[in-house]
């Protein structure tokens, strides 16, 4: 159970803010996960969801890169809810089980070269020096171009925002 009550109904919001519930539902099919608690601040939740719609569904990043960035961020920030959701998505996308297991166990050095730079970027930004090392930055820029690199950093930031909410309010992953 969350540390604060979940917002489970549109009727829990003031009438003038119910459009945020509708927008989140329209983009995701339902209100779940971090949005059940973020909706205590409806405008904040709606704006976060709007960014998330871009990150998840419209970003120029290749879907595999986007999923691995989300998965790495969730694991590095110990966010079980987000990690479970993105591990399943990565598995369904065909990401090799050895890659998933290495991320599960935080063994970035054991990842293949085509994946390691994604994990390293998130790890360096979130855990180590809170900066991206030159070699990782150069690799990411070579892989993605500058616009893609901006989106990659933004993706790590977006999933960090969700992990902060999910972890702070102890939102449990679905069974």
Residue 152 CA to residue 65 CA, distance in Å, equals 8
Of 66, 164, 166, the closest CA to residue 122 belongs to: 66
pLDDT at position 2 is: 86
Residue 28, C-beta contacts closer than 8 angstroms, at least 6 positions apart: 35, 49
Query: Topology of domain 63-168, per CATH?
Result: AhpD-like (1.20.1290)
pLDDT band at 107 (very low <50, low <70, confident <90, very high): very high
Report whether 69 contacts 160 (CB < 8 A): no
The mean pLDDT of the chain is 96
pLDDT at position 154 is: 98
Residue 56 CA to residue 71 CA, distance in Å, equals 12
Q: List, by residue range, all CATH 1.20.1290.10 domains of the chain.
A: 63-168
Percent share of the chain, pLDDT over 90: 95
Tally helices (H) and strands (E) across the chain.
8, 0
Average the pLDDT over 103-112 and give the result: 95
pLDDT band at 175 (very low <50, low <70, confident <90, very high): confident
pLDDT at position 88 is: 92
Place of tokens 């601040």: 41
Give 108-159 pLDDT, tens digit per residue: 999 999 999 999 999 999 997 899 999 999 999 999 999 999 999 999 999 9
Of 72, 152, 74, 156, the closest CA to residue 115 belongs to: 72
pLDDT at position 96 is: 94
pLDDT at position 128 is: 78
pLDDT at position 7 is: 97
Average the pLDDT over 85-102 and give the result: 94
């Amino acid at each position: 159970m969350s540390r604060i009550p979940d917002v489970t109904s549109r009727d829990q919001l003031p009438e003038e803010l119910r459009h945020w519930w509708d927008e989140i539902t329209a983009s995701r099919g339902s209100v779940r996960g971090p949005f059940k608690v973020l909706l205590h601040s409806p405008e904040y939740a709606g704006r976060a969801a709007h960014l998330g719609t871009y990150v998840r569904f419209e970003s120029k990043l290749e879907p595999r890169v986007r999923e691995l960035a989300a998965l790495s961020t969730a694991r590095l920030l110990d966010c079980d809810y987000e990690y479970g959701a993105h591990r399943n998505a990565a598995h369904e996308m065909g990401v090799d089980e050895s890659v998933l297991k290495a991320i599960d166990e935080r063994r970035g050095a054991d990842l293949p070269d085509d994946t390691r730079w994604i994990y390293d970027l998130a790890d360096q930004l979130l855990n180590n020096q809170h900066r991206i090392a030159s070699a990782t930055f150069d690799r990411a820029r070579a892989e993605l171009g500058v616009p893609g690199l901006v989106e990659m950093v933004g993706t790590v930031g977006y999933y960090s925002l969700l992990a902060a909410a999910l972890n702070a309010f102890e939102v449990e992953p679905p069974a």
